[in-house]
Structure 1
Amino acid sequence: MAQDHLNIVELTTEPHKQEDDEAVSKDENKKNFMALQAIQNSRRPDTVLIEIEAIHSANIARNMPNNINTEKSSFPFISFNENKEKLGREGQQWYPNAVNEKITDQGKTALHIAVAAGDEDIVEKLVDLMSEEGLEIQDNDGWTALAETAFAGNYRMAKCMLTKNQHLASIGDVDGRLPAVLAIEGGYKELAWYLFSLTPLEYLKGVSGATLCTKAIYTRTLAIALDLLGNDRHLALALDKDDVSPLYALASTPNAFPSKNQLVFWKRWIYALQAEMCQLVSSLLNLVFGIKDLYEMALANYQHHELIWYMCCEIKMSNDETRKTGCVDTAILRAIKEGNFEFVYAIVRTNPDLLWCKDDKGRTIFPSAVLYRQTKIFSLIYGLHVKLPKVYSQDCFNNNILHMAGMLEASTQLNRIPGAALQMQRELQWFKEVESIVNPQLKEALNKDGLTPQELFTCEHKDMRKAGEQQMKNTASSCTVVGALIVTIMFAAAFTIPGGNDQATGLPMFLNKKLFKLFIVSDSLSLFSSATSILMFLGILTSSYEEEDFLEVLPRKMIIGLFTLIFSIAFMMIAFCVALLLMFHGQTWFVNPIIFLASVPVTLFVLMQLPPLIGMVSSTYGSSIFDRKMECWF
C-alpha cells in the first residue's frame, strides 16, 4: 500500500504476458515483483518460504496462510488458472484475523504501517476491523499504533483509536514513555493535552509521571506540568527515565522568566499589567493591541511561579535523602549558572537551609554566582543581616570567593557584552566589588596553585587584556584618520569662505548674513571637535594598557573621542549645507535634495557608533551592576 502496489495484489492474478502491451507488461511485472518481495519479507521467521518463492504472483502469495505445512501441502501451483476462483474465495478464510497480527520483522501490524504512511482513511477502516486487543499490540520497541500516531502528531487518527479503546493512552513503550510524552517530544501540544486528559492518574506516578512532567517543562507545555504537580507534588523530586527531576528541568529553563526577556519599556509595562489581570481582560488586550506574544509570556511567567510554589512546598516537606535523589542542590546550582534568579530566590527564601548547598567542587551559592557572573543572584548577599561564614568558604582547590572573581569561566552574561574591552571592564568591576565586601585576609589567601586572587585574575585574563588592547587600538587608529581629515577640511574651509572677500576691505562678502555666521560657527565647532577627538585617540594609542586602565581611564578617553568625532562630522555637514544655501540663495529646489543627501553619512555613522557608545557610557558611569539596596530576606 505504501509503495502504491496494492492494485497488483487486488486485481492481478498473473503478470502480463510478453505478447501484451510491452510498456504495460514491463510496469506491472516490476510492481508485481516488488509487491511479492514485500509479502515474502513480511512472513514470520518460522514461516517456510519454499512454496512462496515458487509463486510468481503477488496476489497468490497474499492469500497464502501463514502456517503452511510443506510436507502435506496441496497448494495448486501448476493448476493456478483452474483454481484461481477457489483461491480468491477461500484465501481470506485461511487467515481471517490477519488485521490483528504482526506482519513485519519489527513486530508491526497493518495499522502501524498505515499510520506511518499517514493515510487517515485507511487507518479509520483498519480500526473498525480491529479488536480492542489488536489496537494494543506493541512492536519490538513497545510502540502501539497510537504511539506512532502521537509521535507523528496526527490528532484525527489518535482520536479514532482512542474512541474505540481509551486504554491505549496508558500504554508506554519499553522506556516507559506514554503517548502523551511522545506527542510533547514531537512538539504537538494540543494532541499531548488530549492524550494526557485520557490517561488515568494511576499511570502518572513515579517514572512515567516524572517523565511527562519534565518533558512538559522543557517544551513549555506548562499546563500539563501544573496539573500533574497539583495532583501529586511528590513528582517534583521524582526522577524520570533520564534520571532528571522536574525541579531540575525547571531550573534549566530560565528564558520563561521575565528577567531573561529583553523588552522595550512599553512592552515591559503591558507585560507587568497582564500578569495582574485575569485571562479574559488579557485576551481583550491581545485582540485590541495584537500583543499575543506578551500574553503568552505573562501566562508562562504565572505558570512558572505556580510550579515553583509547588516545588518549594515539596522541598520543605522532604527529608535530606529525598532532596539528594531529587537533585535539589544540583538544580539550584544549575539555576545559578543559567541566571534563573526567580527560581533561586524562591527556593532559598522558602528553604534558607539550602544556602549551604554545594556542587561537586564544594562551591556554595554566592561563590557560584560570582563564578558565573550572575549579578542579580549575587546581589542577594546584600539582603543578609550578617555575612554568613559559608559565603566565604573555600572549594576543594582552596579557592575563596575572591578567587572566583578572578577566574574566567564560560558565562552567558559575559558573552552578552560586546567587545573584549568592555568585557575586561566588567570583569574588573566584578573583582573590585567582591574585593570590597570580603575580609582583607582573603585578598592574600593562596589556592592550591599558590596564587592570590589578584595573581589568578591576571593569569586568567591575560588573553582578554590583549584582545581588549587590540580592539582599542584598532578603533582609535581608524577614528584618528577620520578626525585628521576633518581637521584638514575645516581648516581650509575657514579661509576659503563662500562668496569670497571684499577686495577693498578684505572682509567676507556675506559678513552680515545670518547664514554666514552659522557657517563660521559650524566650521569652528567641527574643527575643535575633531582636534579634541584626535587627542583622545592618540591618548589611547599611547596608553600602557594596564589592567586598571580598562576600568575607567581607557573607556573615558574612548567615550570623549567618539562623542567629539560624531559632533565634528555633524557640524561639518551643517557647514557644507549652509555654504550651499549662501551660494545658491533662492534655489531651494536644487539645494534641498543635496542637503538631504548630506544627512545620510551622518545618520549612518551615528547608527553604527551610538549603540556601543551608549553601552560604554552606561557601563562606566551608570548605576552599579549590583543591587546594594536589596531588602533583607533572611
Structure 2
Amino acid sequence: MDTKSIAFSADVPLPKLLDKHNYAEWAIRVRTYLKSRDLWEDIINVSKNAAPSGQENDEDAINVPIRRNYMALDAIQMSCGPDAFSEIRNSCSAHTAWQTLMKKYGESVSLSLNTATYLQYADLYKAVLRGKLKAAKEFLDSQPEAVRKAITHKGETALHIAVTAGHAHIVKELVDQHHQDDQDGDGCRARMTKEDLGIEDGDGCTALMKALEYGRSELARYLYTRTPLKDLMPAEKDKKGAMLLTRAIYSKNLELALDLIWRFPHLTYALDDHGESPFLALASMPHAFPRENQLVFWKQWIYDHCIRIDQSASSTYEIRLNINSHLGTTQSVPAKSIVSNLLGIEQLYDMKKIHSQSKELLSSMCEVIPTISQTLQLTSGGVYDAINRAVKNGIFEFVSETLSKDPRFLEKEDTNLRNILMLAVLYRHSKIFSHIHGLDKNKALTFYKDRNDDNVLHMAAIVEDSTRLDRSSGAALQMQRELQWFKEVEEIVSLNIKEGTNKDNLTPRQLFTKNHEDMMEKGEKWMKDTASSCTVVGALIVTIMFTVAFTVPGGYNQNYGFPIFLKKKLFMLFIITDALSLFSSSTSVLMFLGILTSRYAEKDFLKSLPKKMIIGLSALFLSIATMMIAFSAALLIMLSDQLQIAIPLICLTGVPAFIFVWIQFPILKDMFMSTLFPRILNRKMKP
C-alpha cells in the first residue's frame, strides 16, 4: 500500500506506519489526529448503549454517521503497516478496528491511555540512560515528582534505569533526591521517607534487585545500606525476600546474603519469582566453594599460607563497603589494598573471601534445616533438590554440612529414584563418594535401584555429559579413569549387584562396555598418535647419538687411535651422557613400538598402556636432556678458550629441549598420578 499516493488530509502528514514495535507512539499520533478532526469521542469511545465487551460487532458499532465512521477508519487503515492492516482488513467499524489493534499490539487499555505519561519523561529517560547528570538534574528540578514516577512501559523509575546502566554518579544524585529535606505546607522542615527506594518495576524488582541482577555489586552494596529494614523484610509469602537473596547469591554479593539470612533465617527455603529457593541457589554455585585442582601449586600455596581473611568482620554484620570514591564513601578493606599491587594476589584474596563467606552462609542456612519438621516443606522449599544439585556440582562442603544436620538425607532420592551415593558415582566426585560411603556403615545405599533398575555399579558404567572427564589429558586417560571408577565401586558392592541387570537386561559390565566403545576408540587413536610422534623423535636421537659416539670432538690420535681429549673430565662427561642418551632413546622407541603393537583390550587402558607410555616419555625426556648435556660438553671442549661464545650457545641449545618438555610434561605428570595414585575412594576419610 503506497501511503504517499493517498492523502486523507492535505495539511497533516500520515502517522508512522504501525508495526509490532511502535504501537505506543502510533496510538498517540492517531488519537491526536482523530481528536483534531472531532472523530475520537463518537467513533473510538463507544456510547454506553453499545454492546458489552466481547459481544460487539461492526453493525452495532457503526451506528454513527457513516461518513464520520469511514473517515476515522480510513485514518487508521492508512497508518497501518502490512501486518497490522491484515488484522483489520475486514472491519467496517473504526471502533472495532481500534480495539483489535489495541489487543494485538498494546499491552492493555490503560497502557494505551497512559502512553503520553511515559513520553513526557522521555528527556529524563535519555539523560539517565546516557549518564548525563546535568540534564537529569535540570529535569528533576523542574519536575521533582518524576523521581518516583515510572518512566518506561516496564514500570522502571529513573533509579532503575541508572542502576541498570551502571551510572553510579546518577544513582548517588537520585538517592540524595529521595532523601532531601522538603518543606510542608506549614513551613516546617520534614525528612522524606526512604520508601521510594522500594519502588518496584513491572517485574516486581526494586533498584537494589536490579543492581544485583546486572552485576552492579558496588551499587548494590551502596543501595543496601540505604534501604530501610522494612523494605528488606519478606513480603507476599516471603517471595520478595527470596528474590533479593537469590540474586545476591548468584551475583556473589555474599555479605548481603549473609545479612539477610541472619535477619530472616526462614528465607533459606522460601521461593523467589522463579520458584527457586536461596538454598537451591547456593547449591548451584560450585565456584563459590573451594574446588580440587582449582589452582596451580604455587598459587595454592599462596592461597593456603599467605592470605588471611578476617573472620571477625563477618561474625556480625559489618559490611566494609568498597564503593568508588565518586559515591562519596570511604574505602576500608586494608588487606585488599595491601596485596592489590602484587601480581595475582588480589584475585586470590577475592577468591578466598568468597569461599569463606559461602561457608558461613551455608552454615547459617543449615541451622534452619533441623527446624523444618514437615517433609512437604523440605520438598517444596527445594532442600532435597539442593542436596542433589550440590552432589552433581561436586560441592563437598555443602553435602557434608547438610548431612551432618540431618543424616536422613542419605536415603532421599531424586526424581529418577537415585540416592546421593548413586549421584556421586554418576557424576564422578570422589571426595563426596568417599564421605557418603563412610557414613553408610551398613552399605544400605548400594542396594538402591533407579527407575531403569540401574544400581550403583550401573552408575559407574554410565557416561553423563556433565561427568568430569575433561580434567584428564587425552581420551586414553579418560578411559583409564572410567575403569578405575568401575573397579572401585565394584569392590564395595555385593555379588548380586555386580550381576544384577537393568530393564534393558544389561549387567553393569555389559553396560560399561556398551557406553565406552567410542571412548575406547578415541583412546586408542590418542595413544597411537602420541606414540607415533614420540617414536620419530626417539629414532632421530638414536641416530644422532650413535653417530656422535664415533665422531668425538677433537678427533683421534693418529698414532694410538685414542681420542685426543680422552683424559679431560669434560670429555668423560660427553661420553657418559652420549651413552645415556643413546640408551634412553632406544628404550623410548621400544616402548612406543610396544604401544603401537598393543591389542588395546579394555583392561589394557587401566595399567598396561599407561605404564608403557610413562616409561616411554620418561626415557625420551632423559634422552633429550642427556643429548643437550653431551652437546654442551663438546662445545666447552672445543671452545675452552672462548667461553663468551660457548656459554650463550649452550643456553640457546636448551630452548628447544625445554619447549618439548614443557609441552609433554603435563601429560606425563597426569598419567603418572592417575596410574600410581588414582585416589578415588579414600577409605581413611573420617565421616
Q: For the superposition of Structure 1 and Structure 2, which TM-score range results when normalised by the shorter chain?
A: 0.7 to 0.9
Shift of 1:340: 1.0
Output the CA distance in 2 between the equivalents of 1:41 and 1:536: 77
Shift of 1:108: 5.0
- Give the letter aligned to residue 115 of structure 1: V
- Give the letter aligned to residue 682 of structure 2: D
Match of 1:460 in 2: 515
- Give the letter aligned to residue 116 of structure 1: L
- Give the letter aligned to residue 226 of structure 1: L
Query: 1:527 and 2:602 equivalent?
Result: no
Equivalent residue for 2:127, pick from 114, 118, 122: 114
- Give the letter aligned to residue 249 of structure 1: A
Equivalent residue for 1:129, pick from 121, 142, 145: 142
CA contact (8 A) 1:480 1:537 kept: yes
1:446-498 C-alpha deviation (Å, 9 max, x unpaired): 01111110111111111111101011111111111221122122222222222
Match of 1:301 in 2: 355
Query: 1:327 and 2:382 equivalent?
Result: yes
- Give the letter aligned to residue 288 of structure 2: A
CA contact (8 A) 2:446 2:455 kept: no
Query: 1:163 and 2:163 equivalent?
Result: no
Match of 1:229 in 2: 261
Match of 1:427 in 2: 482
Match of 2:201 in 1: 173
Match of 1:251 in 2: 283
Query: 1:514 and 2:498 equivalent?
Result: no
Query: 1:48 and 2:76 equivalent?
Result: no
Shift of 1:261: 6.8
CA contact (8 A) 1:421 1:468 kept: yes
Q: Mean alpha-carbon deviation: is it higher for 189-198 or for 559-568?
A: 189-198
Output the CA distance in 2 between the equivalents of 1:508 and 1:108: 96
- Give the letter aligned to residue 271 of structure 2: L
Match of 2:248 in 1: 216
Give the 5 Å matches for 1:36-435.
41=25, 44=28, 47-49=31-33, 103=116, 110-132=123-145, 135-137=148-150, 139-165=152-178, 166-204=194-232, 205=234, 206-259=238-291, 262-265=294-297, 267-272=299-304, 274-275=308-309, 278=312, 282-283=335-336, 286=339, 291-318=345-372, 319-384=374-439, 386-411=441-466, 413-435=468-490
- Give the letter aligned to residue 232 of structure 1: F
**SS of corresponding position for 1:449:** coil
CA contact (8 A) 1:124 1:157 kept: no
Shift of 1:429: 0.7
1:537-566 C-alpha deviation (Å, 9 max, x unpaired): 111011111111111111110011111111
Output the CA distance in 1 between the equivalents of 2:631 and 2:151: 81
Output the CA distance in 2 between the equivalents of 1:541 and 1:218: 49
Output the CA distance in 2 between the equivalents of 1:142 and 1:422: 55
Q: Mean alpha-carbon deviation: is it higher for 495-504 or for 566-575?
A: 495-504
- Give the letter aligned to residue 121 of structure 1: K
Output the CA distance in 2 between the equivalents of 1:281 and 1:41: 53
- Give the letter aligned to residue 154 of structure 1: H
Structural RMSD (CA): 2.7
CA contact (8 A) 1:136 1:168 kept: no
Output the CA distance in 1 between the equivalents of 2:162 and 2:222: 13
Output the CA distance in 1 between the equivalents of 2:281 and 2:464: 23
Shift of 1:153: 2.2
Q: Mean alpha-carbon deviation: is it higher for 586-595 or for 303-312?
A: 586-595
Output the CA distance in 1 between the equivalents of 2:128 and 2:334: 42
CA contact (8 A) 2:140 2:147 kept: no
Match of 1:582 in 2: 637
- Give the letter aligned to residue 304 of structure 1: S
Segments of structure 2 that go 5 or more residues without pairing to the other structure are: 1-15, 17-21, 38-113, 179-193, 314-332
CA contact (8 A) 2:484 2:678 kept: no
Output the CA distance in 1 between the equivalents of 2:231 and 2:26: 34
Output the CA distance in 2 between the equivalents of 1:462 and 1:169: 60
CA contact (8 A) 2:147 2:158 kept: no
- Give the letter aligned to residue 182 of structure 1: K
**SS of corresponding position for 2:367:** helix
CA contact (8 A) 2:280 2:386 kept: yes
1:596-621 C-alpha deviation (Å, 9 max, x unpaired): 22212211111111121111111111
Give the 5 Å matches for 1:22-37.
none
Alpha-carbon spacing, 1:277–1:330, altered in 2? closer, same or farther (3 Å) = closer
CA contact (8 A) 2:422 2:456 kept: yes
Output the CA distance in 2 between the equivalents of 1:440 and 1:600: 56
1:189-228 C-alpha deviation (Å, 9 max, x unpaired): 1222232334344443122211111111001011211121
- Across the two proteins, how many residue pairs are aligned to each other? 549
Which of the pair is proportionally richer in helix? Answer: 1
Give the 5 Å matches for 1:472-551.
472-551=527-606
CA contact (8 A) 2:140 2:146 kept: no
1:511-551 C-alpha deviation (Å, 9 max, x unpaired): 22222222221111111111111111111011111111111
Output the CA distance in 2 between the equivalents of 1:571 and 1:314: 64
Match of 2:110 in 1: none
CA contact (8 A) 2:125 2:151 kept: no
1:291-325 C-alpha deviation (Å, 9 max, x unpaired): 33233222212221221122212222112122111
**SS of corresponding position for 1:197:** helix
Shift of 1:376: 1.1
- Give the letter aligned to residue 642 of structure 2: Q
Match of 2:653 in 1: 598
Alpha-carbon spacing, 1:392–1:138, altered in 2? closer, same or farther (3 Å) = farther
Match of 2:12 in 1: none
CA contact (8 A) 1:216 1:224 kept: yes
CA contact (8 A) 2:458 2:511 kept: yes
CA contact (8 A) 2:578 2:630 kept: yes
1:78-123 C-alpha deviation (Å, 9 max, x unpaired): xxxxxxxxxxxxxxxxxxxxxxx96366785543343234321121
Output the CA distance in 1 between the equivalents of 2:254 and 2:542: 62
Output the CA distance in 1 between the equivalents of 2:570 and 2:416: 72
Segments of structure 1 that go 5 or more residues without pairing to the other structure are: 1-32, 54-100
- Give the letter aligned to residue 128 of structure 1: D
CA contact (8 A) 2:437 2:443 kept: no
Alpha-carbon spacing, 1:281–1:45, altered in 2? closer, same or farther (3 Å) = closer
Shift of 1:150: 2.1
Output the CA distance in 1 between the equivalents of 2:460 and 2:221: 46
**SS of corresponding position for 2:625:** helix
Match of 2:48 in 1: none
Q: Mean alpha-carbon deviation: is it higher for 587-596 or for 259-268?
A: 259-268
Alpha-carbon spacing, 1:328–1:592, altered in 2? closer, same or farther (3 Å) = same
Match of 1:58 in 2: none
Alpha-carbon spacing, 1:503–1:195, altered in 2? closer, same or farther (3 Å) = closer
CA contact (8 A) 2:575 2:630 kept: yes
**SS of corresponding position for 1:258:** coil
Shift of 1:265: 4.5
CA contact (8 A) 1:107 1:139 kept: no
